[in-house]
Structure 1
Amino acid sequence: MSEKKGTSATRAKNKYNAKNYDRLYPYVKKGRKAVYEEAAQKSGMTLNEFMITAIEEKVQKVLEEE
């Protein structure tokens, strides 16, 4: 019998996330995460929102230069 890990709700969330999102795994120097978290908090955002906003702003700038 195959073993199922997690509750059915967790499995459903994982399935939804796998279908609808790509994952990025940025590595940063030790101590930088705390700096990013503080900046995000001061901006009223989560760290994820802050990172996505920063990336999107940079992408837009680069694409406008073309």
Structure 2
Amino acid sequence: MTVSKAQQRAVSKYMKENYDVYQIRMPKGKKDDIKEAASAVGESMNQYIINAIDQRIERDSAAPGASEGPEKEKPQA
């Protein structure tokens, strides 16, 4: 089935209005690992990565002192 130019424009407009795009690079073979893990839980790679990021954000924000960043040694007086 051929997609009309109007349909292509509509899809492009929808994607721009509703999604952010971010490209990531990873070591060779990592993509296959993610694809396998996502498939094992019945998710797309995209959804698997989004869920992993959301879980990390939730975990980090719940950790004590999470907003202060990495612990640093305090200078002695």
* Cα RMSD (Å): 1.2
Asked which structure has the greater CA Rg, the reply is: 2
2: CA distance between counterparts of 1:7 and 1:59? 40
Partner of 1:27: 25
Unaligned stretches of 5+ residues in structure 2: 67-77
- Once the two structures are TM-superposed, the CA of residue 57 in structure 1 deviates from its matched residue by 0.1
Aligned residues: 61
Q: What TM-score do the two structures reach when normalised by structure 2?
A: 0.73
1:52 partner letter: I
Q: What TM-score do the two structures reach when normalised by structure 1?
A: 0.85
Q: Could you list the structure 1 runs, at least 4 aligned residues long, displaced by more than 3 angstroms after superposition.
A: none
Q: Which has the higher contact order (CA 8 A, sep 6+)?
A: 1
Query: Which structure is higher in helix share?
Result: 1
Identity of matched residues, %: 30
Unaligned stretches of 5+ residues in structure 1: 1-5
